[in-house]
Amino acid sequence: MCKFKFLFYASIAVLTVLLFGVACTDDNGINGGEGQENLVFTKPCLQWGISQAELEAQMKAEGYSLTQSPYPCIYEGKRLERRIGYLFQNGKLCGASVAIPYDSIQNLNEITAAFPGAKPVDGYADTFLDVKNNFIVDYAVKEVTFAADEKNVGKYWIISWAQYDLDVAQAVDLGLSVKWANLNLVLSDTDKAANAPEEASSFFSRYGWGDPMGGKTSEEVSDYPSLDNISGTEYDIAAVNWGSNWRLPTQEEMQELLDQCTWTWTKRNDVKGYNIEGPSGESIFLPVTGYREGPDSGIDVDNAGYYWTGTLRSDDTNYPYVLTFGEGFKGLNVNKDILRSYGCAIRPVQDK
């Protein structure tokens, strides 16, 4: 899964680096939790959204500091040393990782026991998802050299928990049944840095239907789910990556956007698209996006927009309902039928 540059921007690659100057705790501290005393490693703090100051206060109460530069904070546990790192976004905790020596794990069940309730993600080895508690966990074997510890080179299990994109978008109340995000969902670092609706139209912002991690590029329709509605489920890329407050719009919600809003074809920073004004007077901008067939083909990138709904068509389950538009046309499944194996853009919604 790490071969996709736009996957897990807050996970293994980043959090492995964070382990070079990290925080730690003990089996009886804030990270242990009920039932954790039998595990071979200490679970990091997973209180998503707390500030760095709040985490530092908790660590101080346990007798540890959040940073112990230049050396990593090493906890000598009952069976092995543990190294725990944290990642913050917008000043809020969104990721944590623990590294443990490879030889210390005798059975992979010792790792998976640390995240009960998380289910394997279809098509992604060693990746688990807990929709209810809104996190992703991933583990992998890495050869790591820890900072200021050049002799300590070897294989480690790197186990990463992450909740992504806290407060990444604004929920705009157009006066409809749901609120609409002001940005497209994007998982690539380049598009995240742009952070503007008209700049979220690159190749990496188009994802297969029902691919929660955004990395599938298979052209086989059977590699994608065929549920009637994936909005808000473990197959919903918006819910998985932006949190359970966000989800894919349904067919009805997308139709409501078409029927009850004023659509004006325009340009924003030289990017074509529609300004959509709702009954409330508030508006959002949907840029042209094109769609993707297979791993590396972008089609109609400059002239049309293609946005997934979470609803599968009842007359032919190979095709979800898709908002398609260009200058002079807009609607669901107009101009082009889009297989669920294609890649389209995502504009998440939020319940009121």
Q: What is the pLDDT of residues 112-167, one digit of tens each?
A: 666 667 777 766 667 777 766 666 666 665 656 554 445 555 677 777 777 655 66
Q: Which of 164, 165, 117, 113 is nearest to 139 (CA)?
A: 113
Taking the C-alpha atoms of residue 297 and residue 11, their distance in angstroms, rounded to an integer, is 27
Q: What is the pLDDT of residue 181?
A: 93
Question: Whole-number mean pLDDT of the chain?
Answer: 74
DSSP string, 94-108: EEEEEEEEGGG-S-T
Q: What is the pLDDT of residue 118?
A: 74
Whether the CB-CB separation of 11 and 142 falls below 8 Å is answered with no
Q: What is the pLDDT of residue 300?
A: 81
Taking the C-alpha atoms of residue 344 and residue 308, their distance in angstroms, rounded to an integer, is 6
Q: What is the pLDDT of residue 79?
A: 37
The dihedral region occupied by 351, where left means phi > 0, alpha psi between -120 and 50, and beta the remainder, is beta
For the whole model, what pTM was predicted? Answer: 0.68
Q: Which of 298, 291, 302 is nearest to 336 (CA)?
A: 291
- For residue range 11-62, what is the model confidence (pLDDT) as tens digits? 444 444 444 333 333 332 333 333 333 344 566 777 777 888 888 787 777 6
The pair of structure tokens assigned to 156 is 């480690």
Place of tokens 């992998």: 140
Whether the CB-CB separation of 309 and 254 falls below 8 Å is answered with yes
Whether the CB-CB separation of 275 and 287 falls below 8 Å is answered with no
